[in-house]
Structure 1
């Protein structure tokens, strides 16, 4: 088939962060672009992920702020919380963002098909309505989906997809998993006054993050009332006649709960996508294997975002989608650099990090030097809270180059973004020391470590 015979230059399956960015950039280069989305424009991050979850975090923070208000001279009477008000406000904002993303595609001349699409061949997609469309290039950006374990009664549980639609605030909630999704929702529900129990198959939380920060978060959240049950995943969930759930874990007595949230990871959403029609075999985790330019073994088909199981972060998917569009229709082809990606967990308190953890640095470089600042944020001191922040600089012992920055405490994600630039630029501990502190602030601890 000649190039001019294709219906589109680029057909994108999935209108999440990566797919929308690729569509917009490709269209700006003059390509004829269409995108298919079976649910809503915006994808996981906007519809059922980081954006609505961060809004819940904001909402839950008021519990602490209102408690501390008296120390600042405020009298707050009749304080109460209404879950329905917060939930509905969050969902309205999701509607707003869905409309904005849709408008972005429309403004850039991208045609939208609001139905499921699968791959029919190297240059063809098939819509669920039966129509087959040809495309010079196809981009798969369908993201990932929550993983559900196979225990009895799992049908009574919810995932991070459904948690935003809870009809009422659960008085007691059990959360299985100890990754960032589990820890963020544990903090939200704990702050809103729920009894929270976190159960996990291992004895660690937030595997992959710096050990000192993980330990500090565990201590603080336990002091706040979150109960942990390690080395005992859920074996069974039984729904009682009164509507409550009996959660059986290991050798412990069953836990009674009003809701059970499964947050044990996400899997690339590749089932039934038709990739075999283009000769593409999936990886061990169901991911689409791609090269450094997000190209599959089928030259006309690319994949970006969580469906590739590289780095499951929205900004990464956006960069990948942008790079694919530039490479196919722009002036240059460039691979995405995955080094020095800053990450954050919006737990309570939040933690953030960039670069190598202390353990990773020792393994890779051997001779390192670690600087820390263990302090009580001024706000906590004034409010009588004993929780302490912890900042850590991991440096090369000989060159002084900062290999990693890790922190836990109020506003850590906001502070880390600027620190990530320094790590990316290869600055040294001496560069940090030579920078005048911004006082009084928590961020000044980054340049005062000796």
Structure 2
């Protein structure tokens, strides 16, 4: 493929997970490709999201492992934790992965512009340097950013972006939100010795997950020392003379902390991209509206990832980027199936799920069968830790087809990846029953459910 009329076949704005995949695959199909990124190659996931977050989760797990190992005969003396060392090691690996992403693009002859880009004409993109280029197709993959609640003193808080770069751990932190980011960072900070309080404007945590799991996480989190304040909204935040923050909220007494962190959702990055000039239609929350092939209302402009109003997960953005490139440049029309997407919350302990919750299944199917196992993992038994795991399987009452699996407990996300294949394939409870268990494992409970 050649760009006879235009300088590029594809110009991508944003080099996050979805944008990088789209560029790489489009180039592999023979397209002449360029990408503009004003921050760093890799986007939210690699630079300030799931990758560094998971590394902090690993670091946090050692707090309980060092405590539990004594029951297994280990003597640990003089243990201590160095936040700065962990932070710097994590950021060093982020730098490494950033370099890998850049080399991937370069090896596919993708032109990289390390600057902001804006659409200024039907096929024209203007770079921050003043240079203007043209492209037959334009892909917007600019992702999303943390939402910051509006209140007096709101600028005194931080988001997950800044949490990775703290000079020191706060003694007390207030985390606002009830979603996965709030619960994950609550677990991380709590294991590192910070006193954590979560405030949420409703009385529900992780609303897209099965209530049995969220109830169990709440119970375990409280026992670990995390405080929760529900039905609370910010009124104001004030800096005190001692450097601490005094937070006033509705329905609860004020609280004094060293840090406030917002985990109250994410906002699509659509401002300043020239979308109005291009005539691109946006939704109520500023997201780009697209069809099943990621095409906007403008035929030659597409969008993938968190900048759209679909599922804000890195693997989804990657699949959307792949599908876009295959559709437009590979002569292989592909639409991503956004149903039955597995997901995880890397809380302490982690949650993982795929398919419908019990409530969703009852509403959609009427008659359902629920199988579950409520148990204490062998490691927790020996360690004297009362924490219990829960595995739940939801089946269609008419044919026993599995429509949902939900887990909370050790290694739940690792187990769920394989279980999700079975659910996606339409397997039944009988198929699981006919599978021999691997003993002793947590995962064997999936084929032993009653």
TM > 0.5 fold call: yes
Q: Deviations over 1:80-138 (max 9, x none)?
A: 11110111111101100100000000111000000000111221111011111100000
Distance 1:235 1:271 in 2: 28
SS at the partner of 2:252?
A: coil
Displacement of 1:331: 2.6
Contact 2:13 2:142 in 1 (8 A): yes
Contact 1:10 1:135 in 2 (8 A): yes
| Aligned counterpart, 1:399 | 399
SS at the partner of 1:118?
A: strand
Contact 1:122 1:301 in 2 (8 A): no
| Aligned counterpart, 1:130 | 130
SS at the partner of 2:416?
A: helix
Residues 296-315 of structure 1: matches in 2 within 5 Å?
Answer: 296-315=296-315
| Aligned counterpart, 1:228 | 228
Q: Deviations over 1:190-210 (max 9, x none)?
A: 111110000010001111100
Q: Deviations over 1:48-73 (max 9, x none)?
A: 00000000000000000000111111
Distance 1:232 1:283 in 2: 28
Residues 113-152 of structure 1: matches in 2 within 5 Å?
Answer: 113-152=113-152
Displacement of 1:413: 0.2
* Counterpart check, 1:199 vs 2:199: yes
SS at the partner of 2:40?
A: coil
| Aligned counterpart, 1:319 | 319
Distance 1:252 1:285 in 2: 29
| Aligned counterpart, 1:365 | 365
Contact 2:231 2:251 in 1 (8 A): no
Distance 1:383 1:3 in 2: 64
Distance 2:163 2:144 in 1: 17
Displacement of 1:320: 0.5
SS at the partner of 1:162?
A: helix
| Aligned counterpart, 1:22 | 22
Contact 2:125 2:133 in 1 (8 A): yes
Mean Cα displacement is larger for which, 233-242 or 30-39? 233-242
Contact 1:200 1:232 in 2 (8 A): yes
Distance 1:233 1:166 in 2: 25
Distance 2:255 2:88 in 1: 29
Displacement of 1:250: 1.7
SS at the partner of 1:198?
A: strand
| Aligned counterpart, 1:377 | 377
Contact 2:3 2:32 in 1 (8 A): no
- Normalised by the length of structure 2, the TM-score is 0.99
Q: Which runs of 5+ in 2 are unaligned?
A: none
- Normalised by the length of structure 1, the TM-score is 0.99
* Counterpart check, 1:54 vs 2:54: yes
Distance 1:427 1:5 in 2: 50
Distance 2:81 2:15 in 1: 35
| Aligned counterpart, 1:92 | 92
Contact 1:122 1:298 in 2 (8 A): no
SS at the partner of 1:97?
A: helix
Q: Which runs of 5+ in 1 are unaligned?
A: none
Distance 1:275 1:251 in 2: 41
SS at the partner of 1:393?
A: strand
Which portions of structure 1, spanning 4 or more consecutive aligned residues, are displaced by more than 3 angstroms?
none
Q: Deviations over 1:412-436 (max 9, x none)?
A: 0000001000000100000010000
SS at the partner of 1:352?
A: strand
| Aligned counterpart, 2:176 | 176
What is the RMSD computed on CA atoms of the aligned residues?
0.9
SS at the partner of 1:135?
A: strand
Displacement of 1:3: 5.3
Distance 2:331 2:155 in 1: 50
Contact 2:281 2:296 in 1 (8 A): no
Q: Deviations over 1:214-241 (max 9, x none)?
A: 0000000000000000001221111111
Mean Cα displacement is larger for which, 249-258 or 50-59? 249-258
| Aligned counterpart, 1:343 | 343
Q: Deviations over 1:17-60 (max 9, x none)?
A: 00000000011011100000000000000000000000000000
Distance 2:22 2:116 in 1: 18
Distance 2:235 2:78 in 1: 42
Distance 1:173 1:102 in 2: 36
Aligned residues: 449
Q: Deviations over 1:431-450 (max 9, x none)?
A: 01000010000000001012
